[in-house]
Amino acid sequence: MIEVLLLAFALSMDAFAVSIGLGAKQNGHTTKALALKAGLFFGIFQALMPLIGYAGGKGVLGFVSEYAHYIAFGLLLLIGAKMIYEGLNEGVGEELAKITNKIMLTLAIATSIDAMAAGFSLMLLDLNPLLACGIIGLTTFIISFIGVHVGKLTGTWLESRAEIFGGVILVAIGFRILFF
């Protein structure tokens, strides 16, 4: 269970970083309304994408079962490294003229693509995948909701640090799957 909580927390760091940027920019929204909107969009997509990855992984498990640990490790290592790289090299927040539902949908999809690949690793954890995806979605909702408020208070300086931290956690989970 600790693995799914760490996975949920790590996967939510992209959404957290974007939520900080949204909170810092707000552009016509109240903080509470924007926080709820970000939490819902990011939470729903972060819950659905790992389920898609899990289902896809289950379909190919028979073909790759003896390599599943290596594949999960490789995916988590790549995702974590990408998050660390982006945290070190780019700011997450773009200038947004207005935060519309279309923009929120685009951001939710963009921040949850990694979760689809990480969903493959759910096959290797001894958990109900629906419960795991629910935990991931709820964690992301809470983290995103808080992220908007943090962005309102602090501006954007935490964005890249959150992404780096999430990447490090994903890499650590990958090593745990590979060696334990």
Q: What is the pLDDT of residues 43-90, one digit of tens each?
A: 999 999 999 988 887 777 667 667 777 888 888 888 888 888 878 876
Closest alpha carbon to 151 in 39, 20, 51, 55: 20
Confidence at residue 8, expressed as pLDDT on a 0 to 100 scale: 92
Round to whole Å and give the CA distance between 173 and 171.
5
Round to whole Å and give the CA distance between 137 and 173.
18
* Total domain count, the chain: 1
Helix-helix angle 2-25:129-154, to 10 degrees = 30
Q: What is the pLDDT of residues 134-162, one digit of tens each?
A: 999 999 999 999 999 998 888 767 777 88
User: What CATH number should be reported for the domain holding residue 26?
Assistant: 1.20.1250
Residue-number span of the structural domain to which 148 is assigned? 2-179
Going along the chain, which residue ranges are E strands? none
Q: Which helix (H) or strand (E) holds 154?
A: helix 129-154
Q: What is the pLDDT of residues 87-129, one digit of tens each?
A: 887 654 455 557 788 889 988 888 888 888 788 778 777 788 8
Confidence at residue 145, expressed as pLDDT on a 0 to 100 scale: 97
